[in-house]
Amino acid sequence: MPIVDYERYREMLDKAHAGNYAYPAINISNIDTVNAAIEGFVDANSDGIIQVSTGGGAHSSGNLGDSVLGGISLAEHAHRVAARYDVNIALHTDHCTTDKIDSFLKPLIQETARRRANGQPNLFNSHMYDGSDLPLEENMAHAVPLLEICRDNDIILEVEAGIVGGEEDGLNREDVDVEKLYTTPEDMLGVYEALNGVEGAQYMFAATFGNVHGVYKPGNVVLTPEILKNGQDAVVEKYGEAARFWLVFHGGSGSELSEIRETLSYGVIKMNVDTDTQYAFTRPVADHMMKNYDEVLKIDGEVGNKKMYDPRAWLKAGRANMAARVVQACEDLQSAGKSMGK
């Protein structure tokens, strides 16, 4: 089968939730990173999630800069490749801010609706709406109608309350008020009460606990995972165990493994991985260029070495190293060896 269907995706998330582990959600921006992500999940015998941001979609469409076209192209490639392997792969779109709902999120949902009308599978399994820069009431005012549209198309919506600091994909929140980096129990109750009113819908919640996008040395990012526990406890106390969230961890680069593992016990079932896999891809490419400098360049009238400057040579090295980093992510999040298989 290609990308998982709605019921299989829910089964994946429920299994992770019950088993206290999470799936890496790997950002992709071209065919090689799609292949690297899937190959890493296969090597780890882990189910997993790959995701496209607005920037990744724009990049993959070349000079057109069309994030929707690029997102569709990457998703279609992922469908075809995933069908050849025995692990389950889900497709997701990353941060979509309020100003890009109409230009990115809704067109992709409409593409899925068109495909469903023709008897084809969903293009994406889930989408993220990021209204975390807005007051919670306004954030949820946008999220609720999006959740209704997603429900009608068997799509899971991810929302965020509380801001992830740092900078990623052109979204800069490096100077945000520190207090906004932490989601309160009252925020979590507000999210539940707003979204639970959409009957039959499924959603994930990116609550923040000091998360920062970007790359930092271990120990430089100060997380407070207990915030997740306190929020879950508040929701469960008021609405029962069934109200417990599927939580998402953003901005994990530089986090201590002990802190990552702690979040799993509080309901984190998805952790975004982008910065670390970007570096993992680029590192062997840089190594290839520096070690083969006089072969990848035509120096002093020489012709170089075609085998060394053929993009397939260094892209293959980058893909393999990125796949290895995906394996590490699966091991860190304890999804390795737990694929449900097809």
Please compute Rg for the chain using Cα positions: 20
| Percent over 70 (pLDDT), the chain | 90
State the pLDDT at residue 29.
97
Mean pLDDT of 180-203: 92
Q: Tokens in use for 118?
A: 């023709």
Lowest mean pLDDT of 32-36, 58-62, 149-153, 217-221, name the range.
Answer: 217-221
Q: What is the residue-wise DSSP string for 92-154?
A: EE---BGGGIIIIIHHHHHHHHHHHHTTPPPS-SEEEEB-TTS-HHHHHHHHHHHHHHHHHTT
The yes-or-no verdict on residue 183 having pLDDT over 90 is no
Query: CA of 175: how far to CAs of 163, 164, 221, 225, in Å?
Result: 11, 11, 15, 22
Identify residue 234 by its one-letter amino acid code: A
Distance, CA of 90 to chain centre: 10
82-108 per-position pLDDT tens digit: 999 999 999 999 999 999 999 999 999
- Cβ-based neighbours of 308, under 8 Å, separated by 6 or more: 288, 292, 295, 296
Lowest mean pLDDT of 118-122, 134-138, 249-253, name the range.
Answer: 249-253
If you average pLDDT over each of 140-149, 208-217, 257-266, which comes out highest?
A: 140-149
The yes-or-no verdict on residue 220 having pLDDT over 70 is no
Mean pLDDT of 290-314: 94
Mean pLDDT of 209-218: 60
Q: Tokens in use for 235?
A: 């929701």
State the pLDDT at residue 173.
42
The yes-or-no verdict on residue 132 having pLDDT over 50 is yes
Q: What is the pTM of this model?
A: 0.92
The answer to whether the CB of 291 falls within 8 A of the CB of 44 is no
Catalytic residue among 47, 94, 130, 274: 94
State the pLDDT at residue 221.
55
State the pLDDT at residue 66.
98
Number of helices (H) and strands (E) in the chain: give both, helices first: 13, 11
Torsion of CA 96, 256, 318, 303, to 10 degrees: 110
The yes-or-no verdict on residue 64 having pLDDT over 90 is yes
Average pLDDT value over all residues in the chain: 91
Angle between helix axes 136-152 and 185-195 (nearest 10 degrees) is: 40
**What does DSSP say about strands 171-173 and 165-168: parallel, antiparallel, or unpaired?**
antiparallel
Q: Tokens in use for 48?
A: 């997993």
Give the domains, in start order, of the chain with CATH numbers: 6-333 (3.20.20.70)
Calpha distance 49→287 (Å, rounded)? 29
Calpha distance 283→324 (Å, rounded)? 12
Residue 175 annotated among the catalytic residues of the structure: no
By C-alpha distance, which of 186, 165, 164, 158 is closest to 245?
158
State the pLDDT at residue 167.
47
